């Protein structure tokens, strides 16, 4: 079965997803905090730390524990997948296109697909910790993964840098 393009069939794709994912050593039902797989800093492209719960048997979404150090932020980025951040600890704010919202522990932050966004830790003393959930695995199976990072820049700088690339 083709994962995208003319040979792709939604019926076949959905039929290939198992109704159940049997747990086992390779796909446990619990991944402990110490077992999270920390992504190397050269793969993250910003001052945050990402640790993925990659051994969980999720088929369509990815789960990360993201840490933003005191006074730091993520990069200005956009991607095709949706993302929800649950704020485990800390206080900060997020820019999503032309909107800015403040958040603290217990809040949820939503990032729509293909929107420029950046998350800031407003504390100079304590890190921010997110539980980050995104539907990137599903889009990857469909051949629709796309991500752009403008780096540690403003919204205006990101838009100017990628002004011709709107799709």
Q: What is the pLDDT of residue 17?
A: 64
Cα separation of 159 and 156, whole Å? Answer: 5
Written as six digits, the tokens of 140 are 């990857």
Cα gap 57→23, rounded to integer Å = 8
Instruction: Return the DSSP state at 158.
Output: H
List the end-to-end C-alpha distance of the chain, in Å, as a whole number: 26
Structure tokens that stand for 120 in this block:
């800031």
**Is the backbone of residue 71 left (phi > 0), alpha (psi -120 to 50) or beta?**
left
- pLDDT of 2: 62
Residue 56: predicted pLDDT: 81
What confidence tier does 21 reach under pLDDT thresholds 50, 70, 90?
A: low
Q: What percent of the chain has pLDDT over 90?
A: 57
How far is Cα 101 from Cα 151, in angstroms, rounded to an integer? 20
**Is the distance from CB of 52 to CB of 10 less than 8 angstroms?**
no
What span, in angstroms and rounded, lies between the C-alpha atoms of 83 and 135? 7
R_g over Cα of the chain = 17
Confidence of residue 118 (pLDDT cuts 50, 70, 90): very high
**Residue 26 — very low, low, confident or very high, per pLDDT cuts 50/70/90?**
low
């Amino acid at each position: 079965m083709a994962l995208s393009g003319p040979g792709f069939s939604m019926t076949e794709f959905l039929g290939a997803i198992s109704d159940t994912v049997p747990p086992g050593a390779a796909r446990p039902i619990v991944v402990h905090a110490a077992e999270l797989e920390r992504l190397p800093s050269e793969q993250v492209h910003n001052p945050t730390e990402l640790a993925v719960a990659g051994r969980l048997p999720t088929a369509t979404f990815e789960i990360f524990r993201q840490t933003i150090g005191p006074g730091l932020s993520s990069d200005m980025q956009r991607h095709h997948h949706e993302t929800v951040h649950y704020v485990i600890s800390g206080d900060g704010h997020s820019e999503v296109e032309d909107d800015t919202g403040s958040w603290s522990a217990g809040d949820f932050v939503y990032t729509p697909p293909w929107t420029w966004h950046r998350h800031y830790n407003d504390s100079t003393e304590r890190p921010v910790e997110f539980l980050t959930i995104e539907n990137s695995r599903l889009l990857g199976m469909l051949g629709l993964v796309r991500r752009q990072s403008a780096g540690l820049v403003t919204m205006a700088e990101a838009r100017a840098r990628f002004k011709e690339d709107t799709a």
